[in-house]
Amino acid sequence: MRRRYSILAVLAFLVFLAPAARAADEKVQDAAYWRTEGDKSIQTREYDKAIECYKKSHAMDPLYARTVFRIAHVYNAQKKFEQAQPYLDKALELVKSGKDSSKLLISDIYAEKGYILLLMGKYRDALPLYDLAIEGDPKWAYPVFWKAYAYFKLNDYGKALELCNKVLQMEPNNRDAQKLKGMIEQQQSAPPSSPGK
């Protein structure tokens, strides 16, 4: 008799659990729908609409770090750098805490944070973020290139050239690195400007 009641109790628990699980699945599916709509809006450069869609997705699935990362990316595209920072910080918090359900790489976040600083002209401040991105994914040429660019903007042509060469070892056909290398070599061969100019 006792066994029959325990089986009934388990069945009753499963009956109550099923709608909650189904509702959770529907929320995740709806969140995925709004992420897809946000992606479509980015393709058509409807940035405000993309942000609205991503925010809906994030409200439904707050542990999916890629969504807040995408919001930051859209704000960057709009040159609204101050608005992007909190979303990158939220993505970083989710990834570092292990709560992120999207498997976003931490190196992506550091690279994006560095890129914001480059766009704001804060080249020296971007360098440690690119170091963290490279540390997170040493085979990724993107942060190496932008670190080279930061050094170029800081007139440290030796370090910039070294990093450009590293990018070209990783990706021999990287046109951006080839172009930057040419610019660096041109600067190195140019006669020093006179102090009066």
- The angle subtended at Cα 104 by Cα 149 and Cα 71, nearest 5°, is 75
pLDDT class for 124, splitting at 50, 70, 90?
Answer: very high
Judge if 78 and 39 occupy the same domain: yes
Judge whether 177 lies within some domain: yes
Judge whether 9 lies within some domain: no
Higher pLDDT, 14 or 125: 125
| Cα distances (Å, whole numbers) of residue 27 to 31, 60, 144, 177, 189 | 6, 6, 38, 43, 60
- Structural domain harbouring 100: 32-104
Judge if 127 and 100 occupy the same domain: no
Could you report the per-residue pLDDT of 127-176, keeping only the tens digit for each? 999 999 999 999 999 999 999 999 999 999 999 999 999 999 999 999 99
- Kindly report whether the global pTM for this prediction surpasses the value 0.85: no
Judge whether 111 lies within some domain: no
Judge if 129 and 93 occupy the same domain: no
Alpha carbons 77 and 115: distance in angstroms, whole number: 11
Task: Specify the CATH number for the domain of residue 170.
Answer: 1.25.40.10
> Does the pLDDT value for residue 19 go beyond 70?
no
What letter would DSSP give residue 192? Answer: P
Judge whether 183 lies within some domain: yes
Domain count, the chain: 2
